[in-house]
Amino acid sequence: MEHLLRPIYQERAGDPNTLGVILVEKRGKLDPVTDTFDAILLILVQDAERPVFTKHYTDGQEKAAMHVVAERQLKKWLLLGTNRKIVDWLFFGRILFDRNEYIENLKTELKDFPFYGRQIKTGLEFSRLIRHYMEGRMFYEQQNYLDAYNHVVRSLHGLARLAVLESGLLPEVTVWSQVKKIDPAIYKLYEELVLSDETLEKRLELLFLAGEFFINSKVTDGARHILSAMSEKEDWTIQELHEHDELRNYSVDLEVFVEYLIERGLIEVVRKQAKDGRIEHRNYRVAPITDE
Q: Are strands 63-70 and 39-45 parallel, antiparallel or unpaired?
A: parallel
Q: What is d(CA 2, CA 40) in angstroms, rounded to the nearest whole number? A: 10
Residue 172 CA, chain-centre distance (Å), reads 10
Higher pLDDT, 96 or 60: 96
CB atoms within 10 A of CB 273: 10
Helix (H) or strand (E) holding 67: strand 63-70
2 closest CA partner among 34, 31, 25, 33: 25
pLDDT at 181 over 90: yes
On whether the CB atoms of residues 120 and 79 are closer than 8 A, the answer is yes
In a 3-state reduction of DSSP, which class is residue 54?
Answer: strand
Q: What is the number of other CB atoms lying within 10 angstroms of the CB of residue 147?
A: 15
Q: What is the pLDDT of residues 245-283, one digit of tens each?
A: 889 999 899 999 999 999 999 999 999 888 877 788 999
Name which of 142, 166, 137 is nearest 152 in CA terms: 137
pLDDT tens digits for range 83-100: 878 988 998 899 999 999
How large is the angle between the packed helices 200-217 and 219-230, nearest 10 degrees?
A: 50
- The domains of the chain, with CATH numbers, are 2-110 (3.30.460.10), 115-286 (1.20.120.330)
Cα distances (angstroms) measured from residue 102 to each of 24, 98, 229 = 17, 6, 30
Supply the pTM of this predicted model. 0.78
Q: What is the overall mean pLDDT for the chain? A: 90
Confidence (pLDDT) at 265: 94
Burial of 221 per CB tally in 10 Å (0-12, 13-18, 19+): middle
pLDDT digits over 13-51, tens only? 889 999 999 999 988 766 678 888 999 999 999 999 999
* Among 190, 207, 220, 189, CA closest to 122: 220
Alpha-carbon span 122 to 158, nearest angstrom: 10
If we measure between CA atoms, which residue out of 258, 276, 278 comes closest to residue 268?
258
120: three-class secondary structure by DSSP: helix
Q: Residues 56-77, buried b or exposed e (16+ Cβ, 10 A)?
A: ebeeeeebbbbbbbbbebbeeb
Of 136, 138, 148, the closest CA to residue 200 belongs to: 148
Beta-ladder partners of 44? 20, 69
Distance CA 174, CA 172 (A): 5
The answer to which of 118-122, 171-175, 232-236, 256-260 has the lowest mean pLDDT is 171-175
CA distances from 92 to 60, 84, 156 (A): 26, 13, 26
Q: What is the mean pLDDT of residues 140-156?
A: 96
